[in-house]
Structure 1
Amino acid sequence: MAYTHRAPPSLDGKHVLVTGGGGFIGSRLVELLLARRSPASLTVVDKFTYAGDRENLSDVRDQIILKELDVCDEAIGFSVKRPDVIFHLAAETHVDRSIENGLPFAQVDFYGTAVMLEWARQWGSRFVFVSTDEVYGDMQTRAIDVATEDTALAPTNPYSAAKAGADFLVQAYHRTHGLDTVILRPANQYGPRQYPEKLFPRFVYLAMSGQNLTVHGDGSQLREFTHVSDGAMGILLAGERGASGSIFNIASEEYMTVSEVALAVLHHFGLEETKITYVEDRPGGDARYSISSERARMELAWAPRIPLDRGVSHTIGYYAGKWTGELPEVAA
């Protein structure tokens, strides 16, 4: 893709809109924007479905304009201040849920993105879209070592397909309308505030509740886990420094298998490896994700700051401390 090298905006003094700002990654981005930059205003939009939580924004509530809105509502733009920059993170993200029912993913991840793109076009806003590394598909079946931003997309499940469709739509708005866009394709994020159905908190929950840790397939699935603080900083820097039309992978380039994550949780609690139960792999399960973040390192001066071993240890400890005395409801 040819980039339009217009000068990207500083976020200082700008009116900024974050969709999905009550979620896992979005709330961390909101905190970074306020801690590291001085936006003229920061509007946070979230529908607050099961994965969004107002508590995630409790420390910054008096510094933001919070709107409970649905990105699929075509009238959404009438309810918010015209932004200079939009960070679009609102999405359905859980692969297992997408396998059970793909409709919410097509609606929110694709159609919701289309709605926000239309408003961005009317407003003349910079549009920063957070996609996923899963749009590249399974590196093992594709016989690709590492995906770059130029690797063809090959999604394998309804979630990644909806995100890939939205990814293409953002590119089309840049090419067709000249919309100022930047796309992020981050690797698997982990850290505090994830909804309990996600891998790290789910394993901690199962260990604390005396249940076996259920692992799909043989547990050899390889993931490039990246701490949410590093991921959010990559999004912020792309919003400021990314050339219009550019795409960036964001990844730690450190790897763990799903079984290794399970073992790390068991070791934290002093439990035996026999507490792992291997179950049938989910349909369309991907064996390996691997992306290069060289472009982000070179063009954005981004680099991960939290080593995987330290981040994993802290994350397990975070959930163990958070749930002492009271466990959430979560499926095994």
Structure 2
Amino acid sequence: MRILVTGGAGFIGANFVRLTLAERADAVVTVLDALTYAANRDSLPEDARLTLVVGDVADADTVDPLVADADVVVHFAAESHNDNSLDDPMPFVHTNVVGTFTLLEACRRHGTRLHHISTDEVYGDLELDDTAKFTADTPYRPSSPYSATKASSDMLVRAWARSFGVEATLSNCSNNYGPYQHVEKFIPRQITQVIDGARPRLYGAGLNVRDWIHVDDHNRAVWTILERGVAGRTYLIGADGEVDNRTVVETLLEIMGQPAGAYDHVPDRPGHDMRYAIDASALREELGWEPRYRDFRAGLEATVQWYQEHESWWRPLKAAAEQRYARSGR
């Protein structure tokens, strides 16, 4: 199977590539990645079945021959950091909207199967005291430029599937954690702060709830959809991992041998969603997927250990990430 992975040098994409090469002997993988600050060539393994093409997913001349040569495209490429989307939305429009359009047009020309990776953030948020969860039928209500552009990309995929017959599936996943995640993101930022002897910083009261899933569980779900999913369907991926941000920080501090209260509160960011929760029943009941990382604390312990043992990977990224936060006061 010839697989084109867009954004394959980013966090989730690189883990998908590693999982695919490790578990599927028949897979030949091409990664298309612009290698922006959030991507890292060192996240990819050395493997004769892997080819890296450095290029922009919104560049039709680059995208078209890669799609023509692929059996399936797995579309991870996206600008994804909410804070950055508040500072400058334009890269999010370019990559998330124009890039997805460019890819869809190539898949339309060549009849190539597409799986589109999206986020639960397109649905907005839920009340903290609510028991409801997002489903594939939940109306879209994005809160930030990031989630708005991902919502736009989802709509494009659905329209191209219906209007032009592009063979596409979609998945909206909850918050991922695990190895190779950029240090600007919530969990690795807190881990690397503690490693550096600094105090973690928590937005507002830290009561915002996220539905955490290990990146390997996400990527195995993607493979389940590729193998058994129905074209045109949207599948929600989640592992019943609802935890508030304050608990995540306090758990990380305990794992790393620090007092649970050794963190600082900072002003909340604009439009900060309160709660996400995924109903993944269709994925589980119809396609038979189940998460392997059911113990969130154990998953955090493994993630802490990875960052402790791979300082050479994240150290070059840390100073620039903290400078961006310092400029915004976050």
Mapped pair 1:98 → 2:85: yes
Q: How far does the alpha carbon of each residue in 1:6-30 deviate from its partner, in whole angstroms, 9 at most, with x for none? A: xxxxxxxx32111011111111111
Structure 2: runs of 5 or more not aligned: 326-330
Report the residue type matching 2:119 in the other structure.
Answer: T
Identify the residue that residue 133 of structure 2 maps to in structure 1: 146
User: What is the deviation of 1:143?
Assistant: 5.8
Counterparts of 1:186-201 in structure 2, within 5 Å, are 186-201=173-188
Q: What is the aligned counterpart of 2:32 among 45, 60, 77?
A: 45
Identify the residue that residue 73 of structure 1 maps to in structure 2: 59
Identify the residue that residue 228 of structure 1 maps to in structure 2: 215
Q: How far does the alpha carbon of each residue in 1:146-172 deviate from its partner, in whole angstroms, 9 at most, with x for none? A: 111111111100000000000011000
Q: Distance in 1 between matches of 2:266 and 2:28?
A: 48
Counterparts of 1:305-316 in structure 2, within 5 Å, are 305-307=292-294, 308-316=296-304
Identify the residue that residue 19 of structure 2 maps to in structure 1: 32
Identify the residue that residue 310 of structure 2 maps to in structure 1: 322
1:19 and 1:45 in contact (8 A); partners too? yes
Mapped pair 1:254 → 2:245: no
Q: Could you tell which deviates more after superposition, 265-274 or 83-92? A: 265-274
Q: Distance in 1 between matches of 2:227 and 2:159?
A: 21
User: What is the deviation of 1:35?
Assistant: 2.7
Q: How far does the alpha carbon of each residue in 1:123-142 deviate from its partner, in whole angstroms, 9 at most, with x for none? A: 10111000101011111189
Q: What is the aligned counterpart of 2:102 among 112, 115, 139?
A: 115
Mapped pair 1:156 → 2:143: yes
1:186 and 1:250 in contact (8 A); partners too? yes
Q: Distance in 2 between matches of 1:142 and 1:172?
A: 35
Q: Secondary structure at the match of 1:140?
A: coil
Identify the residue that residue 19 of structure 1 maps to in structure 2: 6
Provide the aligned length of Structure 1 versus Structure 2.
Answer: 318
Q: Distance in 2 between matches of 1:186 and 1:276?
A: 28
User: What is the deviation of 1:34?
Assistant: 2.2
2:178 and 2:215 in contact (8 A); partners too? yes
State percent identity of aligned pairs. Answer: 35
TM-score, normalised relative to structure 1 = 0.91
* Greater than 6 Å deviation, 4+ residue runs: none
Structure 1: runs of 5 or more not aligned: 1-13
1:200 and 1:316 in contact (8 A); partners too? no
Q: How far does the alpha carbon of each residue in 1:36-76 deviate from its partner, in whole angstroms, 9 at most, with x for none? A: 3344632111111111111111243x211221111011212
> Per the alignment, do residues 206 and 84 of structure 1 end up closer, same or farther by CA in structure 2, a change over 3 Å counting?
same
> Per the alignment, do residues 224 and 40 of structure 1 end up closer, same or farther by CA in structure 2, a change over 3 Å counting?
closer
Report the residue type matching 1:86 in the other structure.
Answer: V
Q: Secondary structure at the match of 1:130?
A: strand
More relative contact order, 1 or 2 (CA 8 Å, 6+ apart): 1
> Per the alignment, do residues 15 and 112 of structure 1 end up closer, same or farther by CA in structure 2, a change over 3 Å counting?
same
User: What is the deviation of 1:322?
Assistant: 2.1
Report the residue type matching 1:167 in the other structure.
Answer: D
Query: Superposition RMSD on alpha carbons, in Å?
Result: 1.9
Q: Distance in 1 between matches of 2:253 and 2:180?
A: 20
User: What is the deviation of 1:268?
Assistant: 2.1
